[in-house]
Amino acid sequence: MTGRRPEGVRCPRCGESARDKFFPFCSDRCRLIDLARWIDGYYRIPGEEMTDEETGPAFQREEKVIH
């Protein structure tokens, strides 16, 4: 394998042809929209919510106060 991208790959957000620079997306816009959906929790794995004890301190959010 030479590291080349498969031909005919489509952007998972809009369906346009994917571009190497933004692979697997067609543009920076589609890449950022997808990232925002992950951050907002749109993409989720079904299951029960984890408790703080299960996640541990590494996953707990720190609230920062700006003065």
Asked if pLDDT for residue 4 goes beyond 60, the answer is: yes
Count of structural domains, the chain: 1
pLDDT digits (tens, 9 = 90+) for 44-57: 888 888 787 777 76
pLDDT digits (tens, 9 = 90+) for 20-33: 999 999 999 999 99
DSSP string, 8-36: T-B-TTT-SBP-GGGTTSSSHHHHHHHHH
35 located within any domain: yes
26 located within any domain: yes
State the residue range of the domain holding 34.
Answer: 8-43
User: By C-alpha distance, which of 39, 40, 43, 23 is closest to 31?
Assistant: 23
| 38/25 Cα distance (integer angstroms) | 15
Residue type, 57: P
User: Distances from the Cα of 24 to the Cαs of 10, 21, 50, 67, in angstroms?
Assistant: 7, 9, 31, 41
Q: What is the CATH number of the domain that holds 27?
A: 3.30.50.10
Look up the pTM and report it: 0.59
15 located within any domain: yes
